[in-house]
Chain A
Amino acid sequence: MRGRALLRLVVVLSVFALVAAACGDDDATTTTGAAATTTTAAAGEDLVFGMILVGPQNDHGWSQAHYEAGQYLEQQLGATMIVLDRVNPADRPETPVEQVIDDMVAQGAQLVFATSDDMKDGALLGAERNPEVPMIWSSGDNAWVDGKDYRADLANLGNVMGRMEYGKMIAGCAAALTTETGKIGYLGPLINDETRRLANSVFLGARYCWENYLGNDPADLEFSVNWIGFWFNIPGVTLDPTVVANDFFDSGVDVIISGIDTTEGLVVAGQRAAGGETVWAVPYDFEGACEEAPEVCLGVPYFNWGPRYLEVAQSVIDGTFTADFQWLGPDWDDINNPETSSVGWLNGDGLGADAATDLETFIAGLADGSINLYVGPLNYQDGSVFLADGEVATDFQIWYTEQLLEGMIGASSAG
């Protein structure tokens, strides 16, 4: 009887398989037909590009900023985006990044964006396997000729990153101008070159405004960093950002600045404010991030990937793509210009009028170059010299920041 039971199962599965296969053939033909009809359209409309996101496409943070840049390309060029979100080993253990790249290429993608630091291994491998397909690994450095990890052999994999140091300095300034307890908490993701340089930038902006606009002693500003261990919460693996945010507020911090991909810091601040506490937060990454709790939001430093991604897509259409390293700053004429500025800052409802005035002055100073916070003397956390007196940091020094700065509380690396 067991044999018969097995036989039945096999029959059921086979019938299912046959039905699926039969349907598959039909549909494949239709798709081919549709593709053939579009060959007469403009070149941009023929462009199919892949967008690989590390988190959910609606995370109100890092991944959504990329997703909307992809939509921008669709609007501007009439191109078609193939998107896969939540590509990380926790959410999709059976789908490594290189497999997604192969899939997208097989599906006709002529350009692929791998949009997370976490995709390094997969992006390098995927580029190696598909040398004829232009790709971008955002936030990476493999195409930086003077960088530490230059890969001359990968002529098809370029990098794009925004100079978020400016956005973070502005965020730090807004926090320092607002805090009543003099305690600012930075909700950090994992620890690497990128996150250290961004945390440092927040600190530099906060200290500058605390000292210069409020006339306070820098020693009275307490700036602590807590790392959760990844770009977003993975239950059981990372620290829970909601818990970390609550711990910050319990310890007297009244402004949390987020460095993670998602908005827990702002959400917790909104909840605590609803309970009568005087607290604020600064989210990160995405233009619309303040929406989750606008009344406590001081503003948001955000990435605008659209303009550069559009240039890349155009170069692929024109056949002029080169794999280069682009580290792009704000358009200082209008940092919120959606067509020209790679990094922006939007004030939130929680920012007071006086603070907003000072912040405007600060931004103007960054814009005209009269304020440069990466000038020595600056020491690392262990007291070693980062920048000697009067020394202006090079891009290399900023990108590959080795430690947090002196005066910051928190880990520079894992113990």
Chain B
Amino acid sequence: MTHRRPVLHFRAGSRLIAVALALGFTSLLVAVAGASPIETFRLLWDGSLGTGDKFANTVMTWVPLVLASAGLVITFSAGLWNIGVEGQIVMGAIAASWVAREVDLGTAGIITLAILAGLAGGLLWGLLAGALRVYGRVNEIFGGLGLDFVATGLVVYLVIGPWKRAGIASTSGTDPFPREAWLPTIGNKLAPIAVILAVLAVVGVYALMRGTYFGLRLKAVGANATSAFIIGIRTHRYLLAAMAIGGALAGVAGTVQVIGFQHKLVPAISGGYGFLGILVVLLAAYRAAFIAPIAFFFVMISVGSSQLSLRLGLDSSIGGVIQGTLVLVAVLVGGWQAQRARHGAVAVED
């Protein structure tokens, strides 16, 4: 065991190096574009947390990212590359939109049903990708990607077809939902129910992975499915369960997007949070405890980056560049450290 300590030590160090390198690289880019790096980072900070409304907006963007990321921790732990998370968010959003448009049970009734419907929508879509993997031997990357396209096709069809605005055929979005179907807010934006859902998801996934046999077996399946099967774990069940849980959480993310943020269904309802969630989970090294702060950091960059255009005239895609660089550098540094650690381990054993 002793030789493992340095490995973990290096891992923590690698995060530090990665963050420093990414910030350095971004500063260089910004400086080349003719802006002050310090001003840029100040605006990112100010633009995401500067006022109560901005903070609320950041939190409301954080919620779906955390939900999707929490689900991805489960699927990644099971060794599944759940690229279909985007489609699962979309299917959750569609199901919740149906409730918001069609059901008239008062706010409490609509919201409860919408969350359950969104959860079910995402769950089924995740389960479908899982079934394709387990029973159809379709790799979950390809199955998931295919199902992403189907979900996007369906949302575009609904928006421009059956759920279109009267007299209009536009992929812009549906009519806003009736106000009874909006998540209640404190102030203009902040919906406590959404925040509670996100916190429950993180705590739930953390507990599941750290404190249960289910989590332990899931990790065993993820580490080596064949060995897990040989020691008696029903791997298929665990793979399907992981996809179902991951999909359900993604579906709730979609629900929050429609009834808590956009208040209508738009084709880009996933917000790209599924793919961004993959980056978050990579940076978190698949651990639930890290998701909330890393997702918050990412969201601060996304939300704050519009200030870079507003105030500095910079292209706001710089936010995406920072996020991408961070993950890339983290993965590179992590790989380099792991390699060094392996050599170190060999040396210790010698």
Assess whether B293 is interfacial by the CB under 8 Å rule. Answer: yes
- The chain A residue sitting closest to B289, CB to CB, is A6
Query: B45 near A414 (CB under 8 angstroms)?
Result: no
Query: A229 near B45 (CB under 8 angstroms)?
Result: no
Query: A20 near B45 (CB under 8 angstroms)?
Result: yes
Query: A94 near B310 (CB under 8 angstroms)?
Result: no
Assess whether A24 is interfacial by the CB under 8 Å rule. Answer: yes
- Point out the residue from B9, B42, B188, B303 that lies within 8 Å of A95, measured CB to CB: B303
Assess whether B167 is interfacial by the CB under 8 Å rule. Answer: yes
Query: B309 near A414 (CB under 8 angstroms)?
Result: no
Q: Name, among B12, B261, B297, the residue most crowded by chain A CB atoms within 10 Å (CB to CB).
A: B12
Shortest CB-to-CB span from B16 to chain A, Å, is 6
Query: A85 near B173 (CB under 8 angstroms)?
Result: no
- Give the contacts of A12-47 with B (CB-CB under 8 A): 12-13, 16-17, 19-21, 23-24, 27
Query: B262 near A96 (CB under 8 angstroms)?
Result: yes
Query: A1 near B8 (CB under 8 angstroms)?
Result: yes
Shortest CB-to-CB span from A9 to chain B, Å, is 6
- Give the contacts of B143-198 with A (CB-CB under 8 A): 149, 152, 156, 160-161, 164, 167-173, 176, 188
Assess whether A83 is interfacial by the CB under 8 Å rule. Answer: yes
Shortest CB-to-CB span from A132 to chain B, Å, is 16
Query: B293 near A10 (CB under 8 angstroms)?
Result: yes
- Point out the residue from A85, A118, A191, A234 that lies within 8 Å of B309, measured CB to CB: A85
Assess whether B84 is interfacial by the CB under 8 Å rule. Answer: no
- The chain A residue sitting closest to B188, CB to CB, is A129
Shortest CB-to-CB span from B22 to chain A, Å, is 11
Query: A1 near B290 (CB under 8 angstroms)?
Result: no
Query: B42 near A13 (CB under 8 angstroms)?
Result: no
Shortest CB-to-CB span from A193 to chain B, Å, is 7
Assess whether B205 is interfacial by the CB under 8 Å rule. Answer: no
Contacts of A193 in B (CB 8 A): 167
Query: A190 near B171 (CB under 8 angstroms)?
Result: yes
Contacts of B289 in A (CB 8 A): 2, 6
Query: A106 near B51 (CB under 8 angstroms)?
Result: yes
Query: B169 near A2 (CB under 8 angstroms)?
Result: no
In the bound complex, CA of A104 to CA of B15 (Å): 36
Q: How large is the interface on B (under 10, 10 to 19, 20 to 34, 35 or more residues)?
A: 35 or more
- Point out the residue from B57, B168, B310 that lies within 8 Å of A190, measured CB to CB: B168
Query: B12 near A4 (CB under 8 angstroms)?
Result: yes
Query: A190 near B170 (CB under 8 angstroms)?
Result: yes
Assess whether A212 is interfacial by the CB under 8 Å rule. Answer: no
Assess whether A415 is interfacial by the CB under 8 Å rule. Answer: yes
Q: CB-defined interface of A372-415 with B at 8 Å, one 1/0 digit per residue? A: 00000000000000000000000000000010000000010111
Stretch at the interface among B68-76, B215-223, B264-272: B264-272
In the bound complex, CA of A95 to CA of B301 (Å): 12
Query: B61 near A9 (CB under 8 angstroms)?
Result: no
In the bound complex, CA of A240 to CA of B5 (Å): 54
Query: B41 near A23 (CB under 8 angstroms)?
Result: yes
Contacts of A96 in B (CB 8 A): 261-262
In the bound complex, CA of A102 to CA of B310 (Å): 13
- Point out the residue from A12, A83, A99, A413 that lies within 8 Å of B167, measured CB to CB: A413
Contacts of B57 in A (CB 8 A): 94, 99
Contacts of B176 in A (CB 8 A): 121
Q: Name, among A20, A102, A234, the residue most crowded by chain B CB atoms within 10 Å (CB to CB).
A: A20
Contacts of A24 in B (CB 8 A): 42, 45-46, 50
Q: CB-defined interface of B238-270 with A at 8 Å, one 1/0 digit per residue? A: 000000000000000000000001111011111
Assess whether A275 is interfacial by the CB under 8 Å rule. Answer: no
In the bound complex, CA of A92 to CA of B172 (Å): 13
Query: A229 near B44 (CB under 8 angstroms)?
Result: no
Assess whether A131 is interfacial by the CB under 8 Å rule. Answer: no
Query: B42 near A92 (CB under 8 angstroms)?
Result: no
In the bound complex, CA of A83 to CA of B53 (Å): 20
Assess whether B306 is interfacial by the CB under 8 Å rule. Answer: yes
Assess whether B19 is interfacial by the CB under 8 Å rule. Answer: yes
Query: A227 near B306 (CB under 8 angstroms)?
Result: no
Assess whether B29 is interfacial by the CB under 8 Å rule. Answer: no
In the bound complex, CA of A229 to CA of B267 (Å): 11
- The chain A residue sitting closest to B166, CB to CB, is A413
Query: B160 near A229 (CB under 8 angstroms)?
Result: yes
- Give the contacts of B276-323 with A (CB-CB under 8 A): 287, 289-290, 293-294, 297, 299, 302-303, 306-307, 309-311, 316
- Give the contacts of A58-100 with B (CB-CB under 8 A): 82-86, 89-90, 92-96, 99-100
User: B: which residues have CB within 8 A of A?
Assistant: 5, 8-9, 11-13, 15-16, 19, 23, 38-39, 41-42, 44-47, 50-51, 53-54, 57, 61, 149, 152, 156, 160-161, 164, 167-173, 176, 188, 261-264, 266-273, 287, 289-290, 293-294, 297, 299, 302-303, 306-307, 309-311, 316
A-B contact pairs, 12 of them (CB 8 A): A1-B5, A2-B8, A13-B297, A17-B45, A24-B46, A103-B307, A129-B188, A190-B170, A191-B169, A192-B170, A237-B156, A414-B160
Supply 6 further A-B pairs (C-beta < 8 A) apart from A90-B267, A227-B169: A10-B293, A20-B44, A20-B45, A90-B266, A193-B167, A236-B149
User: A: which residues have CB within 8 A of B?
Assistant: 1-2, 4-6, 8-10, 12-13, 16-17, 19-21, 23-24, 27, 82-86, 89-90, 92-96, 99-100, 102-104, 106-107, 118, 121, 129, 189-193, 227, 229-230, 234, 236-238, 402, 411, 413-415
Which 7 pairs across A and B sit closest by C-beta, in order of nearness? A190-B170, A414-B169, A93-B271, A191-B169, A20-B45, A5-B12, A1-B8
